[in-house]
Amino acid sequence: MSRLVIGISLFALAGPVTAQDAAAWRDSAYRLSAEMQRVRDSLRQDDSQTEEIARRSGLVVSATGDYRALAEDVLDRFDAARRRWFGSALPSPVGFRITLRHGESWSIGRSSRPQSVSIAGLPDADDAFRRAPFDAEEALGNAGKAAQRFLGEYGSLMMASAPAAIRSWLRAGLLLDLGVESRRERAMYSLVTGVGKAQRACVQGDAAGCAHALGIRRSGDPDAGGEYYPLVRADLLLAALEQGGEGAWSRLIGNAGASVEQRLAAAAGIPVDTLLLRWRDGLLALQPDRGPLDLSSAGLILGWSAVILAAGLGIARWG
């Protein structure tokens, strides 16, 4: 109670609080509005420090000083990778723009911009899809890493235009920022270590088991078990797009009302069971020729473990 009395007394002694002048408040609001507009404009067009570096098949790469030297290499890598799965398809008929930035973001009263490199798909209209994440400097200073980041963002834009059935089935997106080798190795590991009945059947070459474990077609077996991680679904979808070649993405997202199974078959240009078995064979081919631990090595390790355990027990007994 004494603290409350002291607080009220101090407030009374302080006198009335002076309201902010209306004109000053209005000026502050105008400045904030102008600053926000400049941020929005920076996502639509390049500033005077940004230079267009190169154009490739409807794509344009631009960069500020720090990243001009690698911008063309980034564009070549990105274009080759996106054509592998999407051909010439774009997230939107009005284009897109992805800008990767590093450095200080816009702030009130400052006029400096972060360093950036951007890839746009023409016509790059005002209402095109836009993404502008901040990245670590090491991710933008390497052409391979930068292209991978662009590809991950591009995959997110493409999925935004995909049918709800595909987005719901995929769950975690295309995960293109993982890189091909990393994604496929993880998918292979998930495939061969699955413990469910359908997962084990899939490893053995049963297409129906694969379809259940991937959430494409439900098994009538109540003991079929669970499903693979979402990353495995992403790997299968990318395999279908690669199998189908040019136009695969358009076939995937076409035919309103089609099931996931029908869409995958349309994208790949082959029946889903055939796709599943080819995908499974491709993953199993990634297994190492030799297991990480053979019998002789296992015996040696067990022997030394026994010696160490016996020594430990002896020490404990006589200590």
Contact 129, 91 (CB under 8 A): yes
Sign of CA dihedral 37, 39, 45, 48: positive
| Mean pLDDT across the chain | 80
Query: What are the residue ranges spanned by the domains of the chain?
Result: 51-161, 166-284
First to last CA, the chain: 64
Band of residue 3 on the pLDDT scale cut at 50, 70, 90: very low
- Cα–Cα distance for residue pair 126/132, rounded to 1 Å: 15
pLDDT score recorded for residue 255: 85
- Pairwise CA distance, residues 193 & 46, whole Å: 49
Closest of 40, 249, 45 to residue 155, by C-alpha: 249
Task: Dig out the tokens for 72 from the structure.
Answer: 């063309």
The CA dihedral of 187, 190, 191, 195, to the nearest 10 degrees, is: -170
Q: Is the pTM of this model over 0.85?
A: no
Contact 198, 179 (CB under 8 A): no
Best CA proximity match to 252, nearest among 319, 174, 141: 174
Assess whether pLDDT exceeds 80 at residue 155.
yes
pLDDT of residue 256: 86
Please write the tens of the pLDDT for every residue from 90-124. 999 999 999 999 876 544 444 456 899 999 999 99
Instruction: Give the integer Cα–Cα distance in Å for 202 and 233.
Output: 14
Residues 259, 284 contacting (CB under 8 angstroms): no
Token pair recorded at residue 229 = 């991680």
Q: If we measure between CA atoms, which residue out of 159, 160, 145 comes closest to residue 67? A: 145
Within the chain, how many helices (H) and strands (E) appear? 14, 5
